[in-house]
Amino acid sequence: METITNYPLFSLTNRNALVTGATGGLGTAIADALARQGAGVFIGYHTKASVAECLGKELSARYGIVAEPVQLDVNDETSVKQAVDSIIHRGKSIDILVNNAGIPGPMKKMEDISYAEMMETLATDLVGPFLMIKSVVPHMKQQGYGRIINLGSVSGSIGEQGLLAYASAKAGLGGLTKTAAREAVGKEKLDITVNQVNPGYTTAGMMRLVPEKILEKKIAAITLGRLGRPEEVAAAVAFLASREAGYLTGQIIAVNGGVA
């Protein structure tokens, strides 16, 4: 058996990572953290081509790795398959998959959420990660190695008034993570892990849209008394992406500052 002592601690050198939603605040921090550890990064984006291209050039110049934009729509099975196949056909491996792409969904009371709004949120935040995992795992099984990290949310674990669709999708993601972890290793018990990071309230994403009075209440419920930083969440993702995290699978790790 190959021992981890042959490698620098937490080094991702010679690994390639595909990060969906990499042009957002949290996604960019995750791409940066993986590149900083030496991984090549495929910057998954849906519509922000120029942002993805600029990020790729920035990461390549900063860390001396290869960072390339990859266009895909996580809601579309054909788009996902084409994106994954395009990477493999270029002779590249996908050693790490980070399912970060997501939408906040409708900020409405339950009785006001339409069927279409509910399904759109589930399609992006739950079915999207499923399609990504389904497409990537066969390649990981072939190479005998892989790290998959799903981005959940504190909303999925404690519930969130006004975010029923989003909280439901993120709660369902936990079941996907645990089941995929069992199935991904195959009969051969390959070195493939599937884990989930549940960020709390951070300075990135939809917390910027929350009214000040509500934001104050959210912060008051956090043990550390502040919002999290994207790079703090990204650090947890980078660890789970490492060889050293090989005995962690099917786990949901809360990075939330101690939400009460």
Three-class DSSP labels, 59-84: HHHHHCCCEEEEECCCCCHHHHHHHH
Per the CB < 8 A criterion, the answer to whether 54 and 39 are in contact is no
Q: What CATH number does the domain containing 120 carry?
A: 3.40.50.720
Question: Each residue of 96-140: pLDDT tens digit?
Answer: 999 999 999 988 999 999 999 999 999 999 999 999 999 999 999
What pLDDT is recorded for position 204? 84
Residue 103 lies in a domain: yes
Range of the domain at 91: 11-200+229-254
Residue 222 lies in a domain: no
Residue 174 lies in a domain: yes
3-state secondary structure 87-101: HHHCCCCCCEEEECC
What pLDDT is recorded for position 63? 97
Residue 35 lies in a domain: yes
Cβ neighbour number for residue 108 with a 10 Å cutoff: 14
Residue 36 lies in a domain: yes
Domain count of the chain?
1
How crowded is the C-beta side of 53, counted as CA atoms within 13 Å?
Answer: 4
Residue 224 lies in a domain: no
Question: Each residue of 249-260: pLDDT tens digit?
Answer: 999 999 999 986
**Residue 202, pLDDT above cutoff 70:** yes
Q: DSSP secondary-structure letter at 163?
A: B
Question: Active-site residue among 45, 166, 201, 247?
Answer: 166
- Distinct helix (H) and strand (E) counts, the chain: 9, 7
Known catalytic residue at 115: no
For the segment 204-225, the average pLDDT, to the nearest whole number, is: 84
Residue 126 has which token pair?
């739950």
For the segment 84-94, the average pLDDT, to the nearest whole number, is: 94
Question: Each residue of 31-51: pLDDT tens digit?
Answer: 999 999 999 999 999 999 999
Element holding 258 (H helix, E strand): none
What pLDDT is recorded for position 5? 56
Residue 1 lies in a domain: no
**What are phi and psi for residue 68, nearest 5 degrees?**
-125, 140
Q: Which of 108-112, 148-152, 176-180, 234-238 has the lowest mean pLDDT?
A: 108-112
Residue 219 lies in a domain: no
What pLDDT is recorded for position 4? 54
Residue 127 has which token pair?
């079915």
Q: Mean pLDDT in the chain?
A: 93
